[in-house]
Amino acid sequence: MSTRKTTPCRFAPLRVAALCFTLMMLAAACATASEITGYRVMREAVTDRAGRALWAVRGFKKDGVEHRLAVDAESFASFDLPAAQLFPVKDAPADSFRRTRLGRTVYRYTAPPYRLQNGGATRAESGADGLFLTVDLCPSKRPFERELFEAAEALGKGAPVPVAVMVSGLWLASHPDEVAYLKGEVAAGRLAVTWVNHSWHHHYDAKAPLAENFLLAPGTDLTAEVLHLEELLLARDLVPSPFFRFPGLVSDRAVMERLGELSLVPVGADAWLAKGEEPHRGSFILVHGNGNEPKGIRLALPLLREKKPRLLPLSEAFAR
């Protein structure tokens, strides 16, 4: 795979103004955010003090203390843990990650055939008894769709309702109140959020063909787009999941292969409501919670309130 050299801070001249705005928002939030430094990709078999098997997939310092982003490769749960609490597994076989549930899923969905649109997992692998609600938060200045989350919460009857939130870096950096709301709903036990990487910039050019758009735009550095968003999540005490959604659901072989190297599962959708796609048992529902696609919200609200579907965590979509 060819390497694209641009970093998020030198991404493209057309996005200088947006980046400056983001930096101002980051500066305003720094009083409550942790400092993340030395962020890097790794893949190391480890155990915690209780003997639980994990995979350290990122290394970094958080406020000067060495940490690991670690994933339970069987449950897909992810953790931000001090490195001192983890112990390397000696003499782990070279193919041991591929033989885990997460490893099998990563390589299954980053393998050929490569579709320009909607590659990766688009629905549950088996007959899941419910639906998977995925909410995209692309960059936007429009009001947040809080009503959507409230409608989902009503299904829980006191239990946290699983929702996959596909968040972009520019949205995360510029919506501190909405992020605080989501964190508060999780803390209150009303939502169980899976934080899914949706890239830092989520670049889009209405005049460019799909093959040169979104993350396929010339000069885009996929690795930087992924890692910079992960850093921002961790700085706000939000733990990235091992899932990724391509902006516009647009990808190619090069970015899919790189995603596999980053230990991430690409997640598409088979029920993008605003495009007229009907959800069925096991469907990945796609709606936008950022105000950019009101049609999808108009369709999602009666679905949640009247049909009252069983919502499932994204991790349950994949074979064990």
Distance of CA 93 to the CA centre of its chain: 29
User: How many residues in total does the chain contain?
Assistant: 320
- SS3 string, the chain, reads CCCCCCCHHHCCHHHHHHHHHHHHHHHHHCCCCCCEEEEEEEEEEEEECCCCEEEEEEEEEECCEEEEEEECCCCCCEEEEEHHHEEECCCCCCCCCCCCHHHHHHHHHCCCCCCCECCCECECCCCCCCEEEEEEECCCCCCCCHHHHHHHHCCCCCCCEEEEEEECHHHHHHCHHHHHHHHHHHHCCCEEEEEEECCCCCCCCCCCCHHHCHHHCCCCCHHHHHHHHHHHHHHCCCCEEEEECCHHHECCHHHHHHHHHCCCEEECCCEEHHHCCCCCCCEEEEEECCCCCHHHHHHHHHHHHHHCCCECCHHHHCCC
Contact yes or no for 264/106 (Cβ under 8 A): yes
Q: Look-up: residue for tokens 């520019």?
A: 170
- pLDDT at position 19, please? 52
Domains along the chain with CATH numbers: 11-88 (no CATH), 115-317 (3.20.20.370)
How far, in Å, CA of 19 to CA of 197, rounded?
18
Stretches where the chain sits below pLDDT 70 are 1-31
The phi and psi torsions of 170 (rounded to 5 degrees) equal -65, -35
Question: What is the per-residue pLDDT across 73-104, written as a single tens digit (0 to 9) for each?
Answer: 999 999 999 999 999 999 999 899 999 999 99
How far, in Å, CA of 164 to CA of 315, rounded?
10
Is the link from the previous residue into 113 a cis peptide, with omega within 30 of 0? Answer: yes
How far, in Å, CA of 127 to CA of 130, rounded?
9
Question: What is the per-residue pLDDT across 59-72, written as a single tens digit (0 to 9) for each?
Answer: 999 999 999 999 99
